[in-house]
Amino acid sequence: MDEQQQNFYNEVLIVVLLIGVIIIYFVVTIIRYHRRYIKLQRERILAEITIQENERKRIANDLHDSLGPLLSSVKLNINSVDVHNEGDEKLIDKAGKHIDEIIKSIRQISHNLLPNTLERKGLIEALREFTRHINEEKIIRIQLHEKAYPQIAKEKEIHIFRMIQEIVNNTIKHAGAKNLQIGFSEEENNILILTKDDGVGFDVKKIRATSGGLGLKSIESRTEILNGKLVIESELEKGTSYIIKIPL
């Protein structure tokens, strides 16, 4: 190899090295940018969900503290009306019963918006209360298998409660199921939340790409905030399973 050839190879090597360095620089920049984008995205979702939770708290308190007592005093006033006619008496009785139902509904709505039990007694007790109310309606039978529930940080429980609440709502609204099983297990320092209904099922891929609903998106966002993973398995006419894995 003469000197000219040697110089040529050296130059080619330098150019290749330079191109390599430039490519590595771009790849690293793209990866960094992508990571920053994901971090910002996660922070944005967390901020949105925090605003949503605070708003729910405010509405729940307003409903509970102002509408509740107001309706109770309306009922008191109605009951104290002096009636002498049997027809009017029946009407007042009926109005009183309706007011009782409204008070009950308002309490239920404000409890769903702000599950006090969750803060006071934790996730399992809140879920027991929530599923008991639904089972009383006799539209669906929800079975809660909570024995294997591993204790989990309090700030994570609100997210898990909201996700299960949405899964139950979806099952009632869309599945036409008779039964819904909700269970927990622990696996390699993760909590697994498993639900299974025996309803009509749905095309998960298609619906996730096209649905304008907010429920599945909210479950996805909360799973993301908790660094978890969500899998939905569904088969037409067989039912749907939600599997959520969250690091403890």
Ligand X SMILES: Nc1ncnc2c1ncn2[C@@H]1O[C@H](COP(=O)(O)OP(=O)(O)OP(=O)(O)O)[C@@H](O)[C@H]1O
Separation between Cα atoms, residue 191 and residue 118, nearest integer Å: 18
Q: Judging by DSSP bridges, how do beta strands 179-187 and 229-235 pair with one another?
A: unpaired
- Asked if 198 interacts with ligand X (CB under 6 A), we say no
| Binding-site string for ligand X from residue 85 to residue 114, where x marks contact by CB under 6 A and - marks none | ------------------------------
Separation between Cα atoms, residue 103 and residue 88, nearest integer Å: 22
Give the nearest distance from C-beta 228 to ligand X in angstroms.
18
| Binding-site string for ligand X from residue 158 to residue 177, where x marks contact by CB under 6 A and - marks none | ------------xx-xxx--
Beta carbon nearer to Mg ion, 191 or 219? 219
- Asked if 211 interacts with ligand X (CB under 6 A), we say yes
CA angle 167, 178, 169 (to 5 degrees): 20
- Asked if 215 interacts with Mg ion (CB under 5 A), we say yes
Give the nearest distance from C-beta 233 to ligand X in angstroms.
11
Residues 6+ apart with CB under 8 A from 220: 230
Beta carbon nearer to ligand X, 185 or 241? 241
Q: How far is CA 204 from CA 173, 232, 239, in A?
A: 16, 7, 11
Judged by the rule CB under 6 A, the positions of this chain that interact with ligand X are: 170-171, 173-175, 197, 199-200, 202, 207, 211, 213-216, 240
